[in-house]
Structure 1
């Protein structure tokens, strides 16, 4: 009996390994539609410790779904985070692209009713409202006739100069090529009215974008890559290059989950119908993107990288927490702004309490070669941010740019060195000077929304698993 048990266990183990590894390209199989075994293949590696991290997938599932997602979902509906300024009219800097969306839902409607407070300064100083008014209106402590008076006010022109310097310094440290928010071609977009959904954008144009990202702008293992991601030799790369690769793959995975979860299920009247259509989970689309038998064994590994990039962006929020907690999140609505500040502090306190954060301190150590690798890392990601202007679908471009900007902002926080000193060493409330902790409003909005997309993806994974396993 004992021997029989051992044999049965061995057969079961071999089956699990075989279904997780799947077949390589050229040997694909078509899984049975809706079968539980097809679903199990997608999720069979989503357990245990995440590669290059000390946290388990089970821990992150619980932490995200119970603590992070409800808070983020509420916060991102607030005005400060729902409006993002973006230029969707830029030409692709790498190739000519005349592709168009397959369905009408790919269009983006600019917003004309943006709260006045959001249209203010691009740069946010860590100053209280009273202090800002003091510097703009003049010191109200007696004026020039007071003994020992020192005029510490700055003109509007000087403040504009500071902001230009800050923008220049930020560009040097930035991991993204940011849109010029002052450009006449940049528009505010209401993210809640333009949700990320399946648009039918596919074919050569979409494949060229991702192929360019992976083949030309990702660090490569010792052997050539497939058009997307091949993790079979990722262990040949150093930690820094693995981090880059897994972060890009995790973001790609997250986008694919969103498109499978918000799929156009019904649009009976086609282009003449003014309704919103029926959107929801498309299990077959999810399996097509992540079933190991249809992805050369890569699907479950790609899903695992979602958790990796989630940890990376969460650590960036934790590291920048002292700076973010000092901001006003100003929209002009005093009551709402107060609620947003409290909600941000509450979210960041939960994030800071997470026990197994991503350890960026283990990266880029070792002098000149490390510094050279970090700059190469930064330039690779800046190139990816420019590739987003080659996306032929407006809605795909909007959400691609936002999530790449959010990830780039996270990398800036983790690796630029500007967030390594305690806030009180950089920020003096007795003088008005720009701190090295500076982020633009666009970076802040993209950072929170990008993390929100990852949080939603982990939540959707649980829902897909429940539906597939029924």
Structure 2
């Protein structure tokens, strides 16, 4: 299969060097998916195994879970100012607007759940005043030593620790509002042009370990480069260490996933009577056709699968945290909470059963001092990207950009907390490793977006075949 795909791809690309895109040999499906097959770089897994596992086993359960109240209500601050430049222009298109929830629309159990999880299902809010902290500590155990109390307070502020890969929103800010993700779906809004590409160019140029001497295209939707320039751009990537190469591929995979969502939920008709959303095959081709993008689009699709493996591995590793008897996905509805936990554990156990997981031990190995330095550099670059999301001019794009970036950051946090996860107590507070409700919602929804992208590729394959 890999040889056949390679030959089809070679024919299409070879013909392209002397022809226009309309004259290229090879089907539209082959030109978009010719490289999306076989084993992935730096992995022991192949694309086909992921497709079957995701599309027929994990995806249906995950979509069912994400429709539940616990996961659909997300608290986010969309009013933060851009920390990098002042000339940000906000999108005036109506589909860029995010409609926040009214106070009475959010379940009371979720609104009161600004807490850490413990055996009782909740613990201390991260932003308590000192007197409230003392009262809470005393209510738990008045015999705690001063040293233990201090350690406990440090745990309460765990979100600000160096283990986190993202700069999280302050949930207590008056600008932070609940959003119903099901009523504000990720889809094409019309936000594009220089402002949109400024976001991605800043991410790639300044945060993906790319040498300044190597230039990438300002807009991958145009095919302005020659073949030699394309090869030069990607040759530097192969010379990077596996960690920096992985970082680039994660961001590229996220970029691909977002573009798939926009192409699958495109505004096809907009009249005063209704808006019709659906698949825009031409838009998908403009973003991923190997000829139209000088192979960059098809490379991104492969990177999507790499991102999927990273987040799937994190999903499997965090199982012990959610398995603890006292843990609950608290909404205030006991029956729903039980059903939510049961379904979540099924998904996590399915993730653990995946036969070809990414081996995170291949990252940050070797000399400890060098590995720690590289890991810190890795973390700081990713935190910077999470801050760039506050510069997105379209509020709906900002919402989903923040959620998916934060979710990937939580996945990385899980991935590199192996010792803490191995030492989790069966009951009681887990000081060494914590996830807030916010992190859980971000992580599961972010993986849900990646899972949806992989599923949508199956749909786009079928659609492209019908136009050949």
TM range (shorter): 0.7 to 0.9
Query: Corresponding residue for 1:349?
Result: 349
1:292 deviation in Å? 1.4
Query: Corresponding residue for 1:153?
Result: 141
1:11 deviation in Å? 12
Unaligned runs of 5+ in 1: 1-9, 133-150
1:294 deviation in Å? 1.6
Query: Corresponding residue for 1:4?
Result: none
1:124·1:438 contact (CA, 8 Å) conserved in 2? Answer: yes
Query: Corresponding residue for 2:224?
Result: none
1:169 deviation in Å? 5.8
The alignment partner of 2:345 has SS state of helix
Rg (Cα) greater in structure: 1
The alignment partner of 2:268 has SS state of strand
Distance 1:201 1:160, change over 3 A: farther
Q: How much is the aligned-residue C-alpha RMSD, in angstroms?
A: 2.9
1:247·1:309 contact (CA, 8 Å) conserved in 2? Answer: yes
TM-score (norm 2): 0.85
Partners in 1 of 2:293 and 2:187 — Cα distance?
22
1:168 deviation in Å? 4.1
Query: Corresponding residue for 1:280?
Result: 278
Q: Superposed, which structure 2 residues align to 1:251-290 within 5 Å? A: 251-269=254-272, 275=274, 277-290=275-288
Query: Corresponding residue for 1:358?
Result: 358
Query: Corresponding residue for 2:132?
Result: none
Distance 1:43 1:371, change over 3 A: same
- Residue among 188, 202, 205 paired with 2:178: 188
1:36·1:469 contact (CA, 8 Å) conserved in 2? Answer: no
Q: Superposed, which structure 2 residues align to 1:443-458 within 5 Å? A: 443-458=439-454
Partners in 1 of 2:23 and 2:278 — Cα distance?
21
1:391-437, Cα deviation, whole Å (9 max, x unpaired): 0000000000000000011111112xx332455x34263xx544221
Q: Superposed, which structure 2 residues align to 1:34-183 within 5 Å? A: 37-101=27-91, 103-112=93-102, 113-128=105-120, 153=141, 162=152, 165-168=155-158, 170-183=160-173
1:440 deviation in Å? 1.2
2:71·2:445 contact (CA, 8 Å) conserved in 1? Answer: yes
Distance 1:383 1:307, change over 3 A: same
Distance 1:152 1:243, change over 3 A: same
Query: Corresponding residue for 2:318?
Result: 320
1:439 deviation in Å? 1.1
The alignment of Structure 1 onto Structure 2 pairs a total of residues equal to 429
Alignment of 1:233 with 2:236, yes or no, is: yes
Alignment of 1:302 with 2:300, yes or no, is: yes
1:85·1:186 contact (CA, 8 Å) conserved in 2? Answer: yes
Query: Corresponding residue for 1:406?
Result: 407
Query: Corresponding residue for 2:195?
Result: 205
1:100 deviation in Å? 3.3
